[in-house]
Amino acid sequence: MDEAEGFIFKPSTSKTLNAASHSKNLIDIIDSGCELEDISSIIPENLSGNIDKLINQTLDFIRGAPDFGGAV
| Percent above pLDDT 70 for the chain | 86
Query: pTM score > 0.85 for this model?
Result: no
Of the candidates 52, 37, 49, the one whose C-alpha atom is nearest the C-alpha of residue 2 is: 37
Mean pLDDT of 2-21: 84
- Cα 44 to the chain's mean position, in Å? 18
Q: Domain boundaries in the chain?
A: 2-64
Mean pLDDT of 26-55: 95
